[in-house]
Amino acid sequence: MKDFLQNLVIPFLFILLLISFNTCKDKEKDSPISMNSLERIQNRGKIVAVTDFNSTNYFIYRGEPMGYQYELLKLLAEHLDVQLEVVVENDVDKNFEMLLEKECDIIAINLTKTKERDKIIDFTVPHSQTRQVLVQRKPQNWRQLTKDELDSKLIRNQLDLANKVVYVQKGTSYAERIKNLSDEIGDHIIIIEKADLEVEELIGLVASGEIDYTVADENIAMVNQTYYPVLDIETAISFPQSLAWGIRREDDSLKIAINNWLKDFKKTLDYALIYNKYFKSPRSAKIVGSEYYTLTSGKVSAYDEYIKEYSKIINWDWRLIASLIYQESRFKSNVKSWAGAYGLMQLMPTTARRFGVNKESPPEKNIKAGIQFIKWLDKRFENRDITDEEEKIKFILASYNVGLGHVLDARRLADKYGKNPDIWEDNVDEYILKKSLPKYYHDPVVKYGYCRGTETYQYVYQILDRYEHYKNILPKE
């Protein structure tokens, strides 16, 4: 009998071990470790891109994030069905470090493919083409000169760069090109690499007369020439070059996905419109010269002073309040909604009266009243178990948009259906969306009935997303 049991148990244990081994293999197959680079991004739900802020790639104008690289990245993220996170770093060397240290997935700037770079990172297909040009300053009387007279006073022959001092941004391909050019002309060109100055800042120094020469991609130089007419950018120092994005040398899954998308997208009218918008439109000069071009003015609206002052009432970052105001009114103080809300903070008449303002109140009073309302909402959440301040902000933003009652309904629904009522994302936000369905707005735990949850869902996400862009560029104080 004992032998019989032993003979029965040993095969049974073997089968259990085999099942366990196969189960472990299946789990390993599904784990993030076994995922390729594209799958990891999709599993994470976002792609992280590092770019530089300047007048073409990424900037904020009248409260709205804009830029050539930014618009392409948004469309790429949409194509991959993930969110986009933008990190700003104008030091090219640090861009490479961030990529190699896996702090980002993609370097989204105007990268020229070189032999040295190709040893350490991979490149996508080109997103655009350009050539490098010498940026120099025209003489004071340039408007009175003929073209031949003007050419005689400027460097038109690359041989004439011998013994000249050329400033370039450190870590860019411009320095390498000037070094090669120095060898080609058989003479010495003095190269000064600046780690603390971006190419557009160097262009500005040429325009102001602080330095004589720098080098830039022609498309960027053309944009800058629209608001610095004194610049000359006609002297090319390179053949046409392809500009691409940089990615890590891993598996090819992300590279293939980006390349397939870029190849198709570059054939569309949308791509042509985006490129022309940032590199060929005369409107670029108007944007850069605007008081609300944040890179130079440091301002996002005409009301920054009041937003900073009154944000102390609630102890929120003023940039978060600014993002909310942009969402509500686009910083237009005379806006009135179909529901009757008015002013920068789009307060409903009853709420406005509670906090001492009306339609005739000046914008700064509307801002103060709106922030006092936010404080009132904050107090409503004090004893509701939401201990994480960042989470509480999401609930307050949702309540500002749709009303406190609907948000409390969504919390009760989340709790009833096994979700965490103290977490917004993937928990309570799911039931804000579902409150537009009869099954849920007729549920016994719901006290405030139907609500159009899609708007609130987007409202919270868009404010917080814009806030991240404001943090990239606007100073905190």
pLDDT tens digits, one per residue of 305-363: 999 999 999 999 999 999 999 999 999 999 999 889 999 999 999 999 999 999 999 99
Look at 74-88, 106-120, 403-417 and tell me which has the smallest mean pLDDT: 106-120
Query: Is CATH 1.10.530.10 the right assignment for the domain spanning 304-473?
Result: yes
| Homologous superfamily assigned to 132-238 | Periplasmic binding protein-like II (3.40.190.10)
Q: Is the dihedral of CA 419, 421, 425, 429 positive or negative?
A: positive
Q: Is the dihedral of CA 185, 117, 59, 317 positive or negative?
A: negative
Position 94 scores a pLDDT of 95
Spatial distance between the Cα atoms of 52 and 110, rounded to a whole number of angstroms: 9
Share of the chain above pLDDT 70, in %: 93
Sequence ranges of the domains in the chain: 2-31, 38-129+244-287, 132-238, 304-473
What SS3 state is found at 338?
coil
Position 30 scores a pLDDT of 45
Spatial distance between the Cα atoms of 326 and 345, rounded to a whole number of angstroms: 9
Instruction: Indicate whether 15 pLDDT > 50.
Output: no
For the chain, what is the mean pLDDT? Answer: 91
Which residue has 């009432």 as its token pair? 313
Q: How many degrees, rounded to 5, is the angle at CA 143 between CA 141 and CA 146?
A: 100
Instruction: Indicate whether 450 pLDDT > 90.
Output: yes
Short-list 49, 426, 55, CA closest to 228 = 55
Position 16 scores a pLDDT of 46
Instruction: Indicate whether 3 pLDDT > 60.
Output: no
Helical (H) or strand (E) element with 230:
none
Work out the pLDDT band at 426, boundaries 50, 70, 90.
very high
Phi, psi of 35 (to 5 degrees): -80, 150
Position 166 scores a pLDDT of 98
Position 293 scores a pLDDT of 87
Position 477 scores a pLDDT of 78
Look at 3-7, 294-298, 462-466 and tell me which has the smallest mean pLDDT: 3-7
Whether 38-129+244-287 shares its CATH topology with 304-473 is answered no
Spatial distance between the Cα atoms of 396 and 251, rounded to a whole number of angstroms: 43
Work out the pLDDT band at 24, boundaries 50, 70, 90.
very low
Instruction: Indicate whether 71 pLDDT > 70.
Output: yes
Residue-wise pLDDT tens digits, 215-246: 999 999 999 998 899 999 999 999 999 999 99
pTM of the model: 0.85
Quick one: 266 exposed, middle or buried, by C-beta within 10 A (0-12, 13-18, 19+)? middle
Query: Is CATH 3.40.190.10 the right assignment for the domain spanning 38-129+244-287?
Result: yes
Q: Identify how many contiguous H helices and E strands the chain contains and give both numbers.
A: 22, 13
Instruction: Indicate whether 170 pLDDT > 70.
Output: yes
Position 211, amino acid: I
Work out the pLDDT band at 280, boundaries 50, 70, 90.
confident
Q: What CA dihedral angle connects 250, 256, 259 and 260, to 10 degrees?
A: -170
Position 34 scores a pLDDT of 79
Position 114 scores a pLDDT of 86
Position 256 scores a pLDDT of 97
CB 430 within 8 A of CB 419: yes
The residues near 275 (Cβ < 8 Å, ≥ 6 apart) are 68, 128
Look at 21-30, 155-164, 224-233, 396-405 and tell me which has the smallest mean pLDDT: 21-30
Position 251 scores a pLDDT of 86
Which residue has 């941004």 as its token pair? 169
Phi, psi of 105 (to 5 degrees): -100, -20
Strand partners, 304: none
